[in-house]
Homo-oligomer: A and B are copies of this chain.
Amino acid sequence: MAGSVLPPGVSRRRFLSAVGTAGGAGAMFATMGALGLAPTAHASPRYEPPRRSDFALTGRGAAKVVVLGGGIAGLAAAYELTKGGYDCTVLEAADRPGGRNFTARGGTVQTDLRGDTQTAAFSEGIYLNAGPARIAQWMVTLDYCRELGVPVEVFTNTNASAFVYNEAAGMRQPERIRTTKADVYGYVSELLAKATDRGALDSELTATDKERLLDFLRDWGAIGNKASGWRYAGTSRRGYSTDPGAGDQAGVPLGPVPSLARTFAEGAGRYLSFDFAYEQAMLMFQPVGGMDRIPLALARALGPRRLRLRTAVTGITNTADKVGVAFLEPNGTQGHLVADFCVAALPPRVLARIPHNLGPEIQAALGKWQIGTAAKIGLEYRSRWWETDCRIYGGITHTDLDIERIWYPSHGFHGPRGLLVNYCYGNHARQYGDLAPDARAQRAVEQGVKIHGGKHRTELASAFSVAWHLMPHIESAWATPPLGTPAYQLLGKPAGRVYFAGDWLTHLTAWQAGAFESARLAVRQLHERVLSP
Contact = CB atoms under 8 A, between A and B. Distances in A.
Number of copies: 2
A43 B195 contact: no
Nearest to A212: B264
A44 B243 contact: yes
A414 B269 contact: no
Interface in A122-165: 137-138, 142, 145-146, 151-154, 156, 158-161
B44 A237 contact: no
Interface string A172-207: 000000100110110010011011101011001110
A43 B492 contact: no
A190 to B, nearest CB: 8
A71 to B, nearest CB: 15
A213 interface: yes
Interface string A238-267: 011011111111111000000011001101
Contacts of A492: 247-248
Contact of A414 (B151, B243, B244): B151
Interface in A382-427: 391-395, 410, 413-414
B413 A249 contact: no
Interface residues of A, number: 94
A365 interface: no
A486 to B, nearest CB: 13
Nearest to A160: B281
Contacts of A261: 206, 208-209
B138 A161 contact: yes
A233 interface: no
Given A248-B492, A261-B206, A492-B247, A237 B161 contact: no
A103 to B, nearest CB: 20
Contacts of A520: 246
Interface stretch (A50-58, A347-355, A370-378, A501-509): A501-509
A240 B156 contact: no
A393 B285 CA distance: 9
Contacts of A240: 138, 278
A400 to B, nearest CB: 15
The listed residue with most B CB atoms (<10 A of its CB), out of A188, A247, A393, A514, is A247
B413 A278 contact: no
A138 to B, nearest CB: 5
A475 interface: no
Contact of A283 (B145, B161, B192): B161
B236 A278 contact: yes
A295 to B, nearest CB: 18
Given A160-B282, A269-B220, A246 B518 contact: yes
Contacts of A518: 246-247
The listed residue with most B CB atoms (<10 A of its CB), out of A213, A217, A251, A283, is A283
Contacts of A13: none
Nearest to A393: B137
A180 to B, nearest CB: 12
A15 interface: no
A482 to B, nearest CB: 13
Nearest to A276: B237
A483 B145 CA distance: 51
Contact of A394 (B206, B249, B283): B283
A281 B156 contact: no
Nearest to A395: B283
A376 to B, nearest CB: 21
Nearest to A238: B278
Contacts of A138: 161, 240, 243, 391
Contact of A507 (B158, B209, B239, B251): B251
Interface in A34-83: 43-44
A173 B154 CA distance: 28
Contacts of A206: 261
Given A243-B138, A505-B247, A201 B195 contact: yes
14 contacts: A44-B249, A138-B240, A138-B391, A142-B414, A145-B414, A152-B413, A152-B414, A154-B410, A178-B278, A204-B260, A237-B277, A239-B278, A244-B507, A246-B506
4 closest residue pairs by CB, A with B: A200-B200, A195-B195, A244-B507, A160-B281
Interface of A: 43-44, 137-138, 142, 145-146, 151-154, 156, 158-161, 178, 181-182, 184-185, 188, 191-192, 194-196, 198, 200-201, 204-206, 208-209, 212-213, 216-217, 219-220, 222, 236-237, 239-240, 242-252, 260-261, 264-265, 267, 269-270, 272-273, 275-278, 281-283, 285, 391-395, 410, 413-414, 483, 489, 492, 505-508, 514, 517-518, 520-521
